[in-house]
């Protein structure tokens, strides 16, 4: 996937940084891809239940995923803090432990709030004009899947810890194992195998809970097993409070959370717009977005690596190394996004066949819409990669407030307004919604990259 031989930078410190970034980025990108496959397993099973079930689950996941992703951003502030601490002092055991411990505390507290928020999902769907039957099905789905919230946010903190300590491969192996758990759980609970009752849509939600608990347990076991990770004793004295460190995490993480809410909210809001246009459009949008989101995991993983690499050099006070880390990450992300965009442009039906039977007459409308949307998704692959890595670079500098403002403006003032205008008030309908998505990502990419390029003049380093 991310193979160093395909991209060879000049010799010297640039090559050294390139190698370090690739070593960190490829397992993170692989873990992100595998995490999407875990979610894809749910979509594949639910899609076989019918169009209504797929529409209901997509609305529920839009809300649950938005909440989860935002809370992962809040606790994700642990990454630049750990990286900076290790940059300042190679063996900053106590400081790293403080950050991780308070990150875990925050994961539980914020996760509980997220669970409560998702309980109002059915009412929100009705207020946005969704079909009452589908809204009710979505509400039942949410009642179950919310129990995966806290385990998933806790796992995100532990994933940051193992990655910052040069063990990102643990994330890859754990998520790869989770795919098997998800397939088995869905097969048993959705269709009623091995003597279990056939729970249908609710069985898929329960399978997600089982999978999330497995992932959390696997991270705990891996940390206990690895000699280097074990010496940090992150679970020792877990009751001890470090309010100053909690304040640091919240200070840096809150803007990240709202940035993610702005971006993820754009895509989740698009699902609600599609629900108003029609069930076939919504189903096609769900499948196309799954493909686009799968491709996005590569630049997203590179952006995560960039946060750690830039953060490490930020802690060491090396401005030249900061520049190398950020620009190399951007170059890698753009190169691989060109590959994924080409696949979407030239083989859309092949990609869609992973999720649904593209030749079935019953799926013709859904597949037709999905192909249209996938062609537009290919166009914004490059700008999506640029904005993701630029945001990651800035987070490494612990610069999160202005990027939050940029995100809100780009995704909502530009992106969502265009989606509403073209989607609901023109003949473009669903295509218009996707044009709005592309516009929001383009504006964000331009503004975030400009801020990264001007980091010295802006006093960020």
Residue 93: closest CA among 198, 164, 179: 164
Q: What pLDDT is recorded for position 3? A: 47
Q: What pLDDT is recorded for position 408? A: 93
Q: Helix axis angle, 417-425 relative to 430-453, nearest 10°?
A: 170
What's the predicted TM-score (pTM) here?
0.84
d(CA 445, CA 387): 4
Q: What is the DSSP letter of 148?
A: G
Tally the residues of the chain: 461
Q: What pLDDT is recorded for position 274? A: 87
The helix (H) or strand (E) run that includes residue 226 is none
pLDDT along the chain (461 residues), means of 10: 47 85 91 82 82 82 87 93 86 86 95 93 82 87 94 96 91 93 93 86 92 96 92 84 90 93 81 84 85 87 94 92 95 93 89 81 85 87 93 95 95 93 89 92 96 94 84
d(CA 223, CA 167): 10
53-84 burial by CB neighbour count: b if 16+ within 10 A, else e? Answer: bbbbbbbbbbbbbbbbbbbbbbbbbbbbbbbb
Tokens in use for 5? 């031989």
Q: What pLDDT is recorded for position 11? A: 54
Residue 46: closest CA among 356, 358, 377, 436: 356
């Amino acid at each position: 996937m991310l193979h160093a031989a395909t991209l060879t930078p000049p010799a010297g410190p640039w090559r050294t940084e390139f190698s370090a970034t690739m070593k960190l980025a490829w397992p993170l990108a692989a873990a992100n891809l595998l995490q999407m496959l875990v979610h894809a397993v749910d979509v594949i099973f639910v899609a076989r239940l019918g169009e209504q079930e797929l529409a209901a689950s997509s609305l529920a996941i839009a809300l649950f995923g938005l909440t989860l992703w935002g809370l992962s951003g809040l606790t994700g502030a642990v990454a630049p803090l750990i990286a900076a601490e290790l940059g300042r002092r190679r063996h900053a055991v106590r400081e790293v432990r403080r950050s991780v411990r308070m990150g875990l505390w925050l994961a539980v507290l914020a996760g509980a709030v997220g669970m409560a928020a998702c309980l109002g999902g059915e009412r929100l769907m009705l207020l946005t004009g969704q079909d009452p039957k589908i809204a009710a099905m979505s509400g039942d789905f949410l009642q179950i899947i919310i129990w995966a919230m806290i385990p998933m946010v806790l796992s995100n903190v532990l994933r940051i810890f193992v990655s910052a300590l040069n063990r990102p491969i643990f994330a890859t192996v754990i998520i790869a194992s989770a795919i098997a758990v998800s397939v088995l759980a869905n097969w048993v609970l959705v269709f009623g195998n091995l003597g279990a009752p056939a729970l249908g849509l609710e069985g898929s939600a329960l399978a997600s809970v089982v999978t999330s608990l497995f992932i959390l347990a696997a991270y705990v076991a891996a940390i206990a097993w690895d000699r280097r990770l074990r010496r940090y004793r992150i679970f020792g004295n877990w009751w001890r409070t470090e309010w100053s460190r909690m304040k640091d995490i919240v200070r840096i993480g809150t803007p990240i959370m709202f940035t993610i809410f702005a971006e993820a909210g754009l895509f989740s809001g698009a699902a609600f717009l599609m629900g108003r246009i029609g069930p076939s459009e919504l189903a096609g949008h769900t499948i196309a977005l799954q493909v686009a989101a799968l491709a996005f995991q590569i630049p997203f993983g590179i952006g995560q690596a960039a946060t750690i690499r830039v953060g490490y050099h930020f802690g060491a006070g090396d401005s030249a190394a900061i520049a190398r880390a950020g620009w190399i990450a951007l170059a890698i992300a753009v190169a691989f996004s060109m590959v994924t965009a080409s696949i979407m442009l030239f083989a859309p039906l092949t990609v869609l066949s992973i999720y649904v039977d593209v030749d079935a007459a019953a799926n013709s409308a859904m597949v037709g819409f999905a192909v249209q949307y996938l062609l537009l998704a290919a166009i914004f692959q490059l700008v999506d990669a640029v904005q993701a890595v630029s945001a990651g670079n800035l987070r490494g500098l612990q610069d999160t407030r202005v990027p939050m403002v940029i995100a809100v403006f780009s995704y909502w003032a530009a992106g969502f307004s265009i989606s509403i205008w073209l989607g609901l008030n023109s003949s473009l309908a669903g295509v218009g919604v996707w044009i709005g998505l592309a516009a929001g990502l383009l504006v964000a990419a331009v503004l975030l990259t400009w801020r990264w390029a001007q980091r010295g003049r802006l006093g960020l380093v």
